[in-house]
Amino acid sequence: MVAPFRPPAPARRDFLAWCSGIGLGATLFPEALASLAQDGGAITRAAIGQAEQLAGLSFTDAERAQLERAVNQRRAAYARMRERPLADEVAPCLYFDPVAPGRTRPPAAARRVVLPPPPPLEAPSDLRELAFAPVWQLSALLRERAVTSVELTELFLARLEQHDATLFCTVTLLKERALAQARAADAELDAGKWRGPLHGVPWGAKDLLYTKGARTTFGAEPWREFVPTLDAAVVERLDAAGAVLIAKLSLGALAMGDLWFGGMTRNPWHPQQGSSGSSAGSASATAAGLVPFAIGSETLGSIVSPSTRCGTTGLRPTFGRVSRHGAMALSWTMDKLGPLCRNALDCALVFAALEGRDERDRTTVDLGFDFDATRPLAGLKIGYLKAGFPVGGPAADRAVLDALRAQGADPQPMALPDAGASDLADMLIVEGAAAFDEPTRDGRLGQLREQGPSAWPNLFRAARFFPAVEFLRAARLRTQLLEATAQAFADFDVVVTPPFAGEVLALTNLTGHPALVLPHGFSKDGTPTSITLIGKLYGEAELLRVGAAFQAVTDHHAKMPPAYAV
């Protein structure tokens, strides 16, 4: 759920600053501590003195003498705790609420999705022409019985098989499961039972979502043959909506980047280039017309970055809007699940099926989703991140503001707080180290292909030297960040920003704000570029209205990668 090692230039340094281990120190294993870790001997005053250097502290000899007994007792307690079994799905008793202290959530809204009237539709003579059709169009054709779910499922299964050799985006095809679901969907539709706009529509799941009886690999070698005994909550909800799961799609190992045990997932617009990540396969497959939509996840850029690279429209919902039950945990306070689609209208349809309270994920809320794409933008309070729109900046960025002005909006400049968000993002690494504690200690992470200084195995080891006191200080600073950001958003429903401007990605992931990333042009090498809309907490309806309005007067989202067009 973390963005890749290779984000779009020139934002690479800002985007990946946290990944270099800021705040963790360059020398992580002083000789004395390393030897103690190997021989299990008592921790001495000399070792404590060396450990002080890691934490930026200085104690006297008398204080070290007092510490000696305490730290040895603490290490014995660690050993006892490690002997107690701990299932992967157990979350800490502490949990994150994105609402700043003293503020309240908005009142619950109705559950309603209103789309513009569709143009007259008919099935093409060659069904391959539907490979890039939006979900709303496929839904209409299915409901009118102009096409069947089995036909669509076979079409997209065939495209996944045909193009995976160049994109490396598929971990597991679910042919039998998919065709059984498609036949059941057709039977219900033929009988006049319509579950909703996703009924009979194929989709792909990022392979960190549990699927009962089908392997879920996290893109990582140690889990290549892991087969869960349950479905993730989002899989359950899409099953209930009648959608047809056809494939588990790749992710960078343990949700970082685009390199997994099957290779590097590719960008359909430039197959020599990685698709970015970690929702690598979800973005690549959707952009290449191999699935109508996919579910991805984001902790720190893993929907925004691959959507930018591959030209998909990706929605990162507010923290707590979509249940993470049955999804691989990387950061209990930052993980979010959301759809990657061809356009904002499709994101609205999928999000409507996903959002809501789930008692198995105590962070979730039940606030409804009232989306009406026919409402004008006039009346919405739209801002733009002033620092992200410098004089002489990209024309495509300014064109987004012009397009919104032409539809009655009045974007106003705003600023986000300068709060050291990149430093606070180290909390993610500590939580990830806790989630993958045993695989770190027993050496299984040595099987991962990425083993460099900025790869998970080293970052998880480094996190062992993040003092608990400093972690809680970061958590307190994060509380301040929630309030400062709430104040910055007080006068805005939606804020427009380049996706990697300053600390916007780290800041809004730490605060749990929703984001919608949209293609807004192409670079000189023919690859997509993007703009991001940031919404107020729980403001997905307004966020998607603005995105749909922009896409109603542009066609960047409708472009097809030439090598995969039909």
Q: Identify which has the larger pLDDT, 24 or 339.
A: 339
Q: Identify which has the larger pLDDT, 395 or 464.
A: 395
User: What is the average pLDDT across 393-397?
Assistant: 97
User: Is the whole-model pTM more than 0.85?
Assistant: yes
d(CA 353, CA 134): 16
pLDDT at residue 33 tops 70? no
pLDDT at residue 514 tops 50? yes
Residue % of the chain over a pLDDT of 70: 93
When mean pLDDT is compared over 20-24, 257-261, 562-566, the highest value belongs to 257-261
Closest CA to 111 of 366, 293, 321, 360: 366
Q: Identify which has the larger pLDDT, 341 or 10.
A: 341
How far is residue 386 CA from its own chain's centroid? Answer: 25
Supply the mean pLDDT for the chain. 92
In 10 A of CB 482, how many CB atoms? 22
Q: Helices marked H in 85-201 — which ranges?
A: 135-143, 149-167, 175-190
Q: Identify which has the larger pLDDT, 326 or 21.
A: 326
User: Letter for the amino acid at 489?
Assistant: F
Query: What confidence tens digit (pLDDT) does each residue in 98-130 have?
Result: 999 999 999 999 999 999 998 888 899 999 999
pLDDT at residue 7 tops 80? no
pLDDT of residue 121: 86
**Local confidence band at 40 (pLDDT 50, 70, 90 cut-offs):** low
pLDDT of residue 545: 98
Tell me which DSSP letter residue 546 carries. H
pLDDT at residue 399 tops 50? yes
For residue 82, the cross-strand partners are none
φ/ψ of 358, rounded to 5, equals -140, 115
**Local confidence band at 4 (pLDDT 50, 70, 90 cut-offs):** very low
In 10 A of CB 227, how many CB atoms? 13
Active site residues: 206, 278, 302
pLDDT of residue 311: 98
Per the CB < 8 A criterion, the answer to whether 138 and 292 are in contact is: yes
Closest CA to 517 of 505, 525, 507: 505
Query: What confidence tens digit (pLDDT) does each residue in 324-351 have?
Result: 999 999 999 999 999 999 999 999 999 9
Tokens standing for 402?
């012009």
b/e string for 300-336 if b means 16 or more Cβ within 10 A? Answer: bbbbbbbbbbbbbbbbbbbbbbbbbbbbbbbbbbbbb
Per the CB < 8 A criterion, the answer to whether 345 and 137 are in contact is: no
d(CA 511, CA 333): 10
Domains and CATH numbers, the chain: 96-420+476-564 (3.90.1300.10)
User: What is the average pLDDT across 130-147?
Assistant: 97
Distances (CA, A) of 454 to 4, 22, 293, 303, 366: 11, 11, 31, 20, 38
pLDDT of residue 71: 87
φ/ψ of 112, rounded to 5, equals -155, 135
Q: Identify which has the larger pLDDT, 82 or 133.
A: 133
pLDDT of residue 442: 94
Residue 374, SS3?
A: coil
d(CA 312, CA 354): 19
Closest CA to 50 of 28, 75, 76, 79: 28
pLDDT of residue 521: 98
Distances (CA, A) of 430 to 254, 444, 446, 458, 506: 14, 18, 19, 12, 15
Per the CB < 8 A criterion, the answer to whether 363 and 93 are in contact is: no
pLDDT of residue 176: 98
pLDDT of residue 392: 94
pLDDT at residue 252 tops 80? yes
pLDDT of residue 27: 33
Give the CA count within 13 Å in the CB-facing half-sphere of 68: 12
User: What is the average pLDDT across 137-163?
Assistant: 98
User: What is the average pLDDT across 173-182?
Assistant: 98
pLDDT at residue 481 tops 90? yes
User: What is the average pLDDT across 433-440?
Assistant: 96
Distances (CA, A) of 348 to 183, 213, 222, 266, 382: 26, 29, 36, 27, 19
